[in-house]
Structure 1
Amino acid sequence: MSEIHVRLAHWQRDHLELRRIREAVFIAEQAVPAELEWDDEDNEAVHFLALEGDYPIGTARLLADGQIGRVSVLKDWRGLKVGDALMHAAIAEAERRGQSEQKLSAQVHAAAFYQRLGFEIEGEEYLEAGIPHVMMVRRSD
Structure 2
Amino acid sequence: MQRSDFRCFHRLRVRWSEVDIQKIVFNAHYLTYADCAMTEYWRALAFPYEAGMQALGGEVYLKKASIEYHASARLDDLLDVGMRCARVGTTSLVFQAAMFAGERLLVTVELVYVFADPATQTKRAVPPALRAMIEHFEAGGEMVELHVGSWATLGRDATALRMAVFVQEQGIDPALELDAHDAAAVHAVAYNRLGQPVATARLLYEAPGDARIARIGRMAVHRVLRGQRWGRLVLDAMVQAARERGDAQVTLHAQRSAAPFYRRAGFEAVGQPFDEAGIPHITMRRSLRGG
TM-score, with structure 2 as normaliser: 0.47
Q: What is the alpha-carbon distance in structure 1 between the residues aligned to residue 252 and residue 282 of structure 2? A: 8
State whether structure 2 residue 200 is matched by structure 1 residue 59. yes
C-alpha displacement of 1:10:
2.2
Considering only aligned residues, what root-mean-square deviation do their CA atoms show, in Å? Answer: 1.1
Query: Which entry has the higher C-alpha Rg, 1 or 2?
Result: 2
SS at match of 1:63: strand
Q: Provide the rounded CA distance (Å) in 1 between the counterparts of 2:185 and 2:150.
A: 9
Match of 2:199, SS? strand
Kept in 2, the 8 Å contact 1:108–1:133? The answer is yes
Is 1:44 the counterpart of 2:192? The answer is no
Q: SS in structure 1 opposite 2:158?
A: helix
CA deviation after TM superposition for structure 1 residue 51, in Å: 1.0
Alignment of 1:67-78 (within 5 A): 67-78=215-226
Secondary structure in 1 matching 2:205: coil
Segment drifting more, 48-57 vs 35-44 = 48-57
Higher relative contact order (CA 8 A, sep 6+): 1
> Structure 1: how far apart are the matches of 2:154 and 2:264?
29
The separation in 2 between residues aligned to 1:77 and 1:115, in whole angstroms, is 20
Report matched runs for 1:1-141 at 5 Å: 1=45, 2=133, 3-53=143-193, 54-65=195-206, 66-140=214-288, 141=290
1:69-127 Cα deviation digits (max 9, x unpaired): 00001112111111110111110110001112000000000000000011000000000
Secondary structure of the structure 2 residue equivalent to 1:60 = strand
Aligned partner of residue 246 in structure 2, secondary structure: coil
Alpha-carbon separation, structure 2, partners of 1:127 and 1:7? 31
Shift of 1:56: 1.2
The runs of at least 4 aligned residues of structure 1 exceeding 2 Å deviation read none
| Whole-Å separation in 2 of the counterparts to 1:36 and 1:116 | 28
Asked if the contact 1:5–1:85 (Cα under 8 Å) also holds between the matched residues in 2, the reply is no
Task: Find the residue that maps to 1:133 and give its secondary structure.
Answer: strand
Q: How many residues align?
A: 141
User: How far apart in 1 are the matches of 2:161 and 2:258?
Assistant: 18
Could you state the TM-score of these two structures normalised by the residue count of structure 1? Answer: 0.95
Q: SS of the counterpart of 1:80?
A: coil
2:154–2:187 Cα contact (<8 Å) kept: no
Shift of 1:13: 2.6
Q: Alignment partner of 1:32: what SS?
A: coil
Percent identity, please.
37
Give the match's secondary structure for 1:106. Answer: strand
